[in-house]
Amino acid sequence: MIVKQGGDSVDVVIGTVKGDLHSIGKDLVRIMLEANGFGVLDLGVDVSAGQFAQAVREHSPLIVGLSAFITSARRLLPGMIGEIRAAGSSGMKVLVGGAAVNGAVASEVGADGFSPEAVSTARLVRGIVNAVRR
């Protein structure tokens, strides 16, 4: 299920990565971002790199957020992040979160940032958006 709420523009595209059906943490992040006024396109769960890339091409988000909760999904992250980056602008940031990742893993898989929960994720997104729009 694809959910689009918030403003007209899509600031953040978010989804749980291919093979991973966990939704609760990803949904909380979306809700917290929307509550902070960001436009969020939620691609749902079991989202392929191609689906993320298509959303990036269509909506030009500032940020793509990947949720990964199981080890097998984490292994896909480097390839997925490469494909997603290739579809977006050079300034687009990729964030990761979920039980399968931490700050060290975020660096290893080529992400720009990590946050352990929804409130700090909203702060992280606010910082990125402010820097781009300054």
> Of the two residues 52 and 69, which places its CB atom closer to ligand B12 in the complex?
69
Closest CA to 42 of 69, 19, 23, 62: 23
Is residue 9 part of the contact set for ligand B12 (CB under 6 A)?
A: no
Helix (H, G, I), strand (E, B) or coil at 95: strand
Spatial strand order of the sheet with 12-16 comes to: 3-5, 40-42, 12-16, 63-67, 93-97, 113-114
CB of 96 to ligand B12, least distance (A): 5
- Helices 118-133 and 24-35 meet at what angle, rounded to 10? 50
DSSP state of 92: -
CB of 8 to ligand B12, least distance (A): 22
Interface positions, 35-64, toward ligand B12 (CB under 6 A): none
> Of the two residues 19 and 60, which places its CB atom closer to ligand B12 in the complex?
19
Of residues 15, 69, 84, 128, which one binds ligand B12 by CB under 6 A? 69
CB of 134 to ligand B12, least distance (A): 22
Site of interaction with ligand B12 (CB under 6 A): 19-26, 28-29, 65-67, 69-71, 95-100, 114-118, 121
